[in-house]
């Protein structure tokens, strides 16, 4: 941590840790007994908290997994805040992944991303997380270009980057399920391929 960095308050760190614990418990239960067959009460019991406490943190059982789904996305947007001038986006994010600057590969997250394919309620949480990140990405791209985040071009570019991050994560999770290596290098390859498609533009 740098000298100027300030650690979050203890209460906030505890809240974050509890939310992650709830998310992991939800993934385990969803994986073993399905989303429909799992109740919020069961998730709370697995963590050792009351259902009332669970509902103070999350509005629905499906939303319990959001902290795991947003971890990588939040890290990627944070990396964009430190994007050096004159360095192409493709190279910067791919190298960040290879250097381990982005979160390490988490098997629970891979399981969850794969579940979003077949579980509409989880898919909605996954897509909402990316939708919420869209204005953040647009703001960062706009600041770099010295223009407004409301410009059509900026919004389109932000959508393309956002979509590439999502599809790269889905592609990586699917490959791991079929014997692919769950390594930072493999994740970087998926991210590079997705962003390369963005930077190459439409071939149609």
Q: For 64-114, how does the pLDDT look when each residue is reduced to its tens digit (9 = 90+)? A: 999 999 988 998 899 899 999 888 888 988 888 888 777 778 889 999 999
Q: For 163-203, how does the pLDDT look when each residue is reduced to its tens digit (9 = 90+)? A: 999 999 999 999 999 998 888 889 889 999 999 999 888 88
pTM, to two decimals: 0.88
In this structure, the answer to whether residues 134 and 179 fall within a common structural domain is: yes
Evaluated on CA atoms 175, 73, 69, 102, the torsion sign reads positive
Is 5 inside a domain boundary? no
Is 131 inside a domain boundary? yes
Residue pair 123/65 in contact (Cβ under 8 Å)? The answer is no
In this structure, the answer to whether residues 154 and 102 fall within a common structural domain is: yes
**Residue 162 phi/psi, 5° resolution?**
-60, -45
In this structure, the answer to whether residues 74 and 142 fall within a common structural domain is: yes
In this structure, the answer to whether residues 102 and 166 fall within a common structural domain is: yes
């Amino acid at each position: 941590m740098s000298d100027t960095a300030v650690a979050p308050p203890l209460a906030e760190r505890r809240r974050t840790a509890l939310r992650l614990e709830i998310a992991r418990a939800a993934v385990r239960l969803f994986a073993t007994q399905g989303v429909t067959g799992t109740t919020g009460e069961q998730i709370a019991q697995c963590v050792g908290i009351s259902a009332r406490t669970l509902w103070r943190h999350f509005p629905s059982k499906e939303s319990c997994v959001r902290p795991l789904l947003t971890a990588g996305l939040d890290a990627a947007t944070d990396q964009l805040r430190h994007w050096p001038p004159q360095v192409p986006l493709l190279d910067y994010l791919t190298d960040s992944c290879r250097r381990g600057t982005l979160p390490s590969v988490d098997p629970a997250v891979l399981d969850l991303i794969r579940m979003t394919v077949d579980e509409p309620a989880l898919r909605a949480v996954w897509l909402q997380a990316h939708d919420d990140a869209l204005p953040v990405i647009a703001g960062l791209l706009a600041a770099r270009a010295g223009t407004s985040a409301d410009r059509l071009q900026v919004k389109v570019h932000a959508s393309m980057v956002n979509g590439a991050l999502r599809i790269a994560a889905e592609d990586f999770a699917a490959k791991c399920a079929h014997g692919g290596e769950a390594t930072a290098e493999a994740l970087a390859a998926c991210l590079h391929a997705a962003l390369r498609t963005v930077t190459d533009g439409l071939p149609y």
